[in-house]
Every structure is written in structure tokens, then in C-alpha cells.
Chains A and B, each alone.
Chain A
Amino acid sequence: QKEVEQNSGPLSVPEGAIASLNCTYSDRGSQSFFWYRQYSGKSPELIMFIYSNGDKEDGRFTAQLNKASQYVSLLIRDSQPSDSATYLCAVEGGNNRKLIWGLGTSLAVNP
């Protein structure tokens, strides 16, 4: 069982809709959670991080964390074609607190 699980997609949403990306993790001791975006052929770049249960909003992006259920999600409101990318979930875990990466969810926003 992978330690960080993401639906590979592709997730397809129309322009202007809300895109919902989910990530589950296995280490109950994890404290820090990150969402990175990776465009095709490019390197990952940080979108948001979250440490506390609940929601964290940054512009059109909202990260949601539920430690009891061991999942973290990313909502993208008013999705734009420029949001089309692969979204990587990374979770800090283990005794040495290394980042554990999910395989990513591919998002396609259709005009």
C-alpha cells in the first residue's frame, strides 16, 4: 500500500467549475501537507501547504485537511484552462520527516 494515494485521473472539468482533488495518507503522525502543481515537461511548484485541521484558502485555491480521516484535498474554484496540470500531494512522514509524494492527479480544464 502506497503511503500517499491520489487518483491518477484524468479529472476533467469545464471552465469555471470547481475542481476537487483528493489525497489520502497512511502515517497518522504526519503533520505537514503540501500541494504542488506540475505542468507537462516542467518542475513541481508549490501551491499551498496546510498543517491544521480545517480549511486554508489562498485566492482560488482551498486546501482542506482532516487528520482523523487521513485525507487532504485541494479545491480549485473558477477553474481556468491554465490550471490544467498534474497536482502532486506531498506529506511529511516517518521518523526522519521526509516528504512522501503521491503520484499526482492529472487535471484538464476544458474551455
Chain B
Amino acid sequence: NAGVTQTPKFQVLKTGQSMTLQCAQDMNHNSMYWYRQDPGMGLRLIYYSASEGTTDKGEVPNGYNVSRLNKREFSLRLESAAPSQTSVYFCASSAQVFTTDTQYFGPGTRLTVL
């Protein structure tokens, strides 16, 4: 039981390049989330998926797109990376969206945009 896995662990991009961050969970959770964490800003929700087939914007969705590929997988895409997107990205999952269910986090992807 791996929990929540993310790939890649580290990535360096040039401005304007695109990339997709992958996330998978093996806990049969319905809900999945993408956060970014920046010094002084804390954890901010980018997008979430309450259940397979649905996605919704979070607090900071601009510049990102997501795909809930199936119940296990939730990907985050940067179409044209900008230096402001330099951050640590965490994927998380929970049994049900928000409510009182614990969110389990992946190990994170450290992204630098030059």
C-alpha cells in the first residue's frame, strides 16, 4: 500500500515550457486535491476533484489545468510555465471531499521555473 505517489520528485523548466505532474492513490479514495506550498503563503488549493469525473477550481487555479483520469489518478498540467509557478506541489486524497475526512498527502514535486 503506497498511499499517494507523485512524479516527478524534482523538475526544472524554462519559462514557456509545459509539463504534467502525475498523482496516484491506492486507498480507493473518492476525492483528490492539488496544492502548492510557498514560503509565507502556506498551502493553497489549486484544483480538486470531489469524485471521478468532476473537477473544480480552488483558490489559485490560473495557469493550471487538471484531469481526473480515473478514480486513482489526478494530474496537474502547466501549459506555459512561469517563474511565479516555482513552488512545491502536493497532491492529496481523502475518502470524501473536504468534510471531516483526513487528507493524505503525497511526497511532493519541487518545481523550479527559470
Contact = CB atoms under 8 A, between A and B. Distances in A.
Interface in B68-114: 90, 98-100, 102-108
B107 A43 contact: yes
B40 interface: yes
A42 B4 CA distance: 13
B71 to A, nearest CB: 21
B13 interface: no
Contacts of A102: 42
A96 B64 CA distance: 21
A92 B98 CA distance: 8
Interface residues of B, number: 18
A77 to B, nearest CB: 23
A34 B101 CA distance: 10
B45 interface: yes
A9 interface: no
> Which residue of A45, A46, A97, A101 has the most chain B CB atoms within 10 A of its CB atom?
A101
Given A43-B90, A44-B90, A44-B105, A101 B100 contact: no
A46 B44 CA distance: 17
Given A43-B90, A45-B105, 5 more contacts: A43-B106, A43-B108, A49-B102, A92-B98, A103-B42
A101 B107 contact: no
A7 B47 CA distance: 27
A32 B99 contact: yes
A96 B48 CA distance: 12
Contact of B99 (A42, A97, A101, A104): A97
